Amino acid sequence: MRTARILHVARIWRQLLVQYCAVAMAYRVQSLIWMIGGLMPIATMLIWVELAGNGSIGGNGTSYGRQDFAVYFMAMYLLRQATVMWSVLILDRGIRRGELAPQLLRPVPPVWAHMAEHLGEIVVRLPIILAVFVLGLYLTGTLGSLTFPNVLLFALALVGSWLIFFHLHYCVGLLAFWMDGVLSLEPLIWYFTVILGGGAIPIDLFPTAIRDVLTWLPFAATLDFPAQILLGKIDAALLALGFAKQIGWIVALTLLRQALWRTGLRRYSAMGA
């Protein structure tokens, strides 16, 4: 019985992914525009590489040379591209305009379809993102500096980043049950992510007191931590702590998402519902 249920869920997920990959293909021009818009980390990389020159920036064992900046910001490019989220928009439309209603009638949680919609987009854009990532590392002469275990661990941390980002955006989107202007919060998440997560400046380069706070926030767990893995700058203890923080944020945000969903659904009473 339990096996049958698991197989049924697996079939639903497969079909959802097939469907949303097809949708992403239908919107391939939009995907391309998004990818062009996502080149900011590469521009940031060029600035930092130029600033570093032939020396390094930082101190106390956290200095970054031009090669470090190249790897760090190419990792940023990959992370940002693979974690593009639009669930705030989906939920704003769904809750305020009633587009959620058809999904609520199906005997599967609507969040599955919303997750699959994002994953379908990644599947379609992944080959191009990976090609740009590898090409960027190659052109900066840093491709050879990566080690296989670090790449594997980076991939694992990327999954954690995706889950944190998804739930973070989803929780913000669910606020549409209570407020009208939830879309205005989306740029705020972006600013927090870029500034506090290491998207513009590696967390290591912040003053120590600030850095110690930032490393405990979800933003650093999603961007700076995976980039640090790829750089090979963290030891086993910090690696374990980093993954523990990721898991902690995933659990906390999942619980928050579930609580917001349950409470919000009781309020789902917009005239357009």
> Where does this chain bind other proteins (CB under 8 A)?
8, 11-12, 14-16, 19, 22-23, 26-27, 98-99, 101-102, 104-108, 265-266, 268-269, 271, 273
**DSSP string across 120-162:** HHHHHHHHHHHHHHHHHHHHTT-GGG--HHHHHHHHHHHHHHH
- Other CB atoms within a 10 A radius of the CB of residue 6 amount to 10
Residue closer to other proteins, measured from CB, 243 or 268: 268
Q: How far is the CB of 180 from other proteins (least distance, A)?
A: 9
Least Å from the CB of residue 46 to other proteins: 37
The distance of closest approach from Cβ of residue 253 to other proteins in the complex, given in angstroms and rounded to an integer, is 23
Q: Which is nearer to other proteins, 26 or 135 (CB)?
A: 26
Helices (H), 145-268: 148-174, 186-197, 208-214, 218-222, 224-231, 236-267
- For helices 236-267 and 224-231, give the axis angle rounded to 10 degrees: 160
| Least distance from other proteins to the Cβ atom of residue 103, Å | 8
Nearer to other proteins, 104 or 251 (CB): 104
Nearer to other proteins, 113 or 201 (CB): 113
Contacts of 262 (CB under 8 A, 6+ apart): none
